[in-house]
Structure 1
């Protein structure tokens, strides 16, 4: 092989190698470009998701603020309703008591004009019975005390009187009547009870 042929072969080899190198470089560039495009697409998707999340957060925040304001207004309305209820809770019972109060007023006026105490007493007793009937219709009932044994649940003792003929702590007099509202004591009866006689007390000592 002469020098000229060797040089041609060498040039051909260089051309092949340059082509292969160029092809490899172009392939790498294309792959890099595709990867970059895919990354940009992913970033865009993530950005859209982030924007949507921020929008939802803002929307939920507005809803929460509105709910908080509505709840605060509701609390104020409930408080106002409560005040009004307490203020006028007894309105109905008071309206029902007013006619009885008028009856008392008329009885007192008429009592001054008549010397007949018996008729005056009957008039007042009639009013008293009307009042009791009204209270009973509302669940109020008097506590029966006289003759019963003292019970701290229903009675307050004002004093003890020696009564050898009675069992100790038997109620002998009701100074002020007690009352219950349904099953609840709303006023204790003030009573006088039988105590031990002096002789019994000395024997016990």
Structure 2
């Protein structure tokens, strides 16, 4: 082989090595670039995740913390509810007091009317049997019956006494007698009729009790 050929061969080998070296360096640079790009993408993803977490924290934080306007609404609503309950209790208490006052007033009026009823009954009982058919006496009897009907419609009722067992809630015993013909603690005579108004005693019956 001539010297010239040896020189050419050496040059070709040098070119081939140089080309191989450049290719290897290019591959390394490419791999590093890819790795760098991957790292940058990961960094960007991490930053985006952190921003999302911060936004969620801010968002949930706002939800958990009540707005001043909402707190004011709740306060006013609670106050209104309490005032409505107080007003309802006041209304019920007032209605009850009115009812009690009405019944007290009604019982007071009835108590004043009862002596008139007593006088009617005494006067009618004293009329002889032959005079009861007189027009005047018939008129008085009708007035008495009308008065008793009116009192009955208003809730006034006479208390049953004679033949009933003595009851201190309705009867006032003013006399006591021993009588074997009647049972124990039985009312045998009524001196003054008692009356009730709506299940409340206006006047107790004055009675005589046996045994």
TM-score by length of 2: 0.54
Rg larger for:
2
Instruction: Give the Cα–Cα distance (whole angstroms) in 1 for the partners of residues 109 and 193 of structure 2.
Output: 24
User: How far did residue 151 of structure 1 move?
Assistant: 0.6
User: How far did residue 62 of structure 1 move?
Assistant: 2.6
- Aligned equivalent of 1:64: 78
Instruction: Give the Cα–Cα distance (whole angstroms) in 1 for the partners of residues 80 and 63 of structure 2.
Output: 26
Instruction: Give the Cα–Cα distance (whole angstroms) in 1 for the partners of residues 83 and 210 of structure 2.
Output: 65
| Residue 180 (structure 2) pairs with residue 161 (structure 1) | no
Q: In structure 2, which of residues 154, 162, 166 is the aligned counterpart of residue 152 of structure 1?
A: 166
In structure 1, runs of 5+ residues without a counterpart are 104-121, 196-205
Contact 1:168 1:193 in 2 (8 A): no
Contact 2:165 2:187 in 1 (8 A): no
Contact 2:191 2:207 in 1 (8 A): yes
* Distance change in 2, residues 1:73/1:131 (3 Å): same
- Aligned equivalent of 2:159: 143
How large is the RMSD of aligned CA atoms in angstroms? 4.4
Q: Report 1:14-25 matches (<5 A).
A: 14-25=28-39
TM-score by length of 1: 0.55
Aligned residue-pair number: 169
In structure 2, runs of 5+ residues without a counterpart are 1-12, 117-136
* Distance change in 2, residues 1:155/1:31 (3 Å): same
